[in-house]
A and B are shown apart, each in its own frame.
Chain A
C-alpha cells in the first residue's frame, strides 16, 4: 500500500478562484434533496426552465438520499380509512397547534400522488414480488404494505433506496440543469435590499472554487434544517447522525440575511443522535419507527409487556398495530419522545423506570425471533434494508457478522429509539422544529421566494419533503410564468464574491472545526434547556463578538474547506437567529420544549401563538400570528389548487 501524506496531495480539480459565471433561468432551486428534486420536476412539468443547485451529489444527496423505509400520512391511498383533514388536525392537536397546518395538509393530501409518480419513475412502492403475501399489513389487491395502524392504513412501507436515483433520472429526463457540488451562498434581491423581491442567488463550486450567480424569476429554498448548533463531533461529525453532516441549515442562514421570516425557531429538544455519542439510527434493538412494534425481553428473557393508551396489556403482536378500544386511529407508538394526546396515542412498551421497579433486569433486547415471520422480515430485511442509512452499515454488516434475526436477541441501549443519553443543554432541532413561515402557496414573506421540505417550520420526513417540494415547484412556476424579467444588482454580487474569497489562504487562521466547536460551547452554556434573558444575552454577545474576533480568521485552503468554512459561518448565523427567537418568546411552553426561568408559567394562554422573526434594515423584527393562521384546511387548499384538482400538474 502506498503511503500518502494527505497534506501533500495536489488538489485534483482545476482551481478557479475569482472566476465567475452568470446563468439565467425561470426557476432556481436551492438544494437537491427530496424536496428540491420534486420541486424541480413539478416546475419542469409546467414548461419553465429550471436550474437546481446541490452542494453534494443530487443522485444521493440529502437525508433521504440513501433510503427511506416508510412514507407517512398517505391519507389518500385507496386503503386509507381516514381523511386528510382528520389526519392533519390530529397532527396539529397532538403538538398543541405548534405545527404547520398547511404543509402537513399538503403531505396528507398529495403525498400518495407523489408515490404513484415515483412508481412511474422506477421507484418501488409495492410488494410486486409477493414477498409478504398473506401478511396482515398487506393489501392483497394493491400489494401496498402498511406500517403502524393496520386498521387505518395511512403509513406505507416502501423501498426508499430506489427513490433518489429514480428522481435524479427524472430530473435529467426533464432537462433540469443540475449543478452538483455547488453550494448556494446568498440570495440576490431587487436593488440588493433586505426584504426585497428575490431575483436569484449566488453559489460556489465546491471543487473548483468558481463563483456563480443565477438570475431567476422565482427561487425555492429546499435545503436542510439547522444542525451542529449545540452538538458537533469534530472527529466524527457524520457517524450516527440521522441527517448528513453537511446538512447544516445553509438555507436558513442565507434566508435570514435576506429578510425571510421564520417561526418556532425558539424550539429545540434534548439531543437524540450525534456524532460518536450514539449508535447509528436503527442499529440497536428498539421499538420505534423502523422497528415498530418489535417484541422486547429483559436480560433473563422475560417478555416486556406492550400496553395500549389505557395501560391495558396487549395480548398478542397483532394488537400493537391496532387502535385501542374506542379509539378511531393512532398516530405513532413505540417510544415517541414528544407528548402525545390521549386521543392519538399508540401502543408502547412500559417505560423503563416502571420496568425496573417491576424487577425487569437490564439489558433489554429486541426479540426478533419471537415475532411472526412477516413482521420479522418486515423489520429485519425490508425496513432496516430501506431506511435512511441502515442498508449497508446495519443490515449487510450485521448479516456479515452472522446476526441471525431468527435466533439472535439484539441489545437495546436506551429508551425509545435512542441509544444514548444527552444532557439537558445538549440540544438539537429534531422532531418538528422551527423554520420558514409559509402561506398557502408555500411562498415566504419575500416576493419570488418559496420554501419546501425541511426549510419549512414543523417539517419532517420524506413524504412531507416530496409533497411540499412538488407543491412549491408548481406554485413557483405559475408565479414565474406571469412575472417580469428580474434585474440583478451587481454590487450585491460583488460584495458576496469578496466575502467568499476573503476566506481563502489567510495567514492568521482558525479552522472550521474549531469555529464550530466554539459555537456549540456557547449555545450549550447560554441557550441550553433553562433559558433566561441574562443567559441568552451573554450568548448573543459572545456570538456577535465572534464576528470581529474569529470570523476574520476563518480560513480555507482549498474549495472543499471553503465549503466547510462557509457552512460554519451559516451555523453561526443560525445560532444567532435561534437566540433572538428565544428572547422573543417571553413564556415557557411544554410543546416547544421551551423553559424560560424568568417566565416560568407554562403555556399561558396569551402566548399560544406563533412568534415570527425576521431582519429588517439589519434589525431584528418580532411579530406574531394566530396559532391557526392557515384557516380552514380543505377550503383553502381547494381554493389555491384548482388547477391541480382539475388534473393539471
Chain B
C-alpha cells in the first residue's frame, strides 16, 4: 500500500463511469456507442475500456443501455445532483 502513492497529473471533477472488471468482457461496445468519445480501448485485449475524457461525459447512459453484460458498466450521477424526495404519508394533506 505504502508504495502505491502517486501524484495524478490530470484529474477529473467527477467519475461518471465505473466498469466492473469481473463482469466486463472487453467487447468495447460502450466505446462505439459513445457519441462524445470519452473511452479508449484497453491496450490489453478483452480488458475493460479506459475512460480518458470523463469530464466530457453527457451522462446520457447509452453505454449502460447498450452494454451486453448487465451490471458491467455503471453511470454515476454527480453527487450534487442527488434530488431530495420524501414519503407523502408523513405530510398533512
Contacts and interface: CB of A to CB of B under 8 A. Distances in A.
Q: Do A and B originate from a single complex?
A: yes
Interface of A: 3-7, 9-10, 12, 55-57, 59-62, 65-66, 161, 181, 206-207, 234-241, 244-246, 276, 279-280, 283-285, 297, 300-301, 363, 365, 367, 369-370, 388-389, 391-393, 396-398, 403, 407-411, 413, 560
A413 B65 CA distance: 28
A301 B92 contact: yes
A239 B37 contact: no
Contacts of A300: 91-92
Nearest to B13: A235
B35 A239 contact: no
Contacts of B60: 60, 65-66, 244, 388-389, 392-393
A244 B58 contact: yes
B75 interface: yes
A283 B81 contact: yes
B36 A280 contact: no
B82 to A, nearest CB: 8
Given A3-B4, A56-B37, A181-B37, A408 B85 contact: yes
Contacts of A234: 55
Contacts of A245: 36, 56, 58
A57 B35 contact: yes
Given A236-B78, A239-B16, A392-B64, 9 more contacts: A6-B8, A181-B37, A206-B37, A300-B92, A389-B58, A393-B75, A409-B86, A411-B83, A560-B53
A283 B85 CA distance: 11
Main secondary structure of the interface of B (DSSP, over half): loop
A164 to B, nearest CB: 9
11 contacts: A4-B50, A5-B8, A12-B41, A56-B36, A65-B62, A238-B56, A244-B35, A276-B80, A284-B83, A367-B88, A408-B86
Contacts of A237: 55-56
A240 B57 CA distance: 10
Given A236-B55, A240-B81, A59 B86 contact: no
Contact of A5 (B9, B53, B78, B86): B9
Given A238-B57, A276-B80, A300-B92, A403 B75 contact: no
Contact of B91 (A7, A276, A301, A391): A301
Contact of B10 (A6, A241, A388, A410): A6
B27 interface: no
A480 to B, nearest CB: 28
A297 B91 contact: yes
A161 B65 contact: yes
Interface string B1-44: 00010101110111010000000000000001111110011010
Interface string B67-83: 00000000101101101
A284 B14 CA distance: 21
A62 B6 CA distance: 38
A56 B9 contact: no
Nearest to B31: A57
A389 to B, nearest CB: 4
B34 to A, nearest CB: 6
Contact of A301 (B10, B32, B61, B88): B88
B59 A280 contact: yes
A57 B35 CA distance: 5
A486 B21 CA distance: 52
A113 to B, nearest CB: 27
Nearest to B7: A5
A35 to B, nearest CB: 15
B58 A6 contact: no
A7 B10 contact: yes
A77 B37 CA distance: 38
| Interface-centre pick from A241, A393, A408 (highest chain B CB count, 10 A) | A393
Contact of A60 (B53, B66, B86, B88): B66
A82 B37 CA distance: 43
A408 B88 CA distance: 5
B77 A397 contact: yes
B85 A66 contact: no
Given A238-B56, A239-B81, A391 B61 contact: yes
B44 to A, nearest CB: 10
A367 to B, nearest CB: 7
Among B10, B33, B61, B85, the most chain A Cβ lie within 10 Å of the Cβ of B85
A369 B88 contact: yes
B33 A7 contact: no
Contacts of B4: 3
B87 A408 contact: yes
B92 A62 contact: no
Q: Which of B14, B37, B53 has the most CB of A within 10 A?
A: B37
Contacts of A161: 65
Contacts of A246: 35-36, 56
B85 A411 contact: yes
B30 to A, nearest CB: 10
Contacts of B66: 59-60
Given A238-B57, A238-B58, A239-B59, A301 B93 contact: yes
B55 A411 contact: no
Contacts of A297: 91
Contacts of B55: 234-237
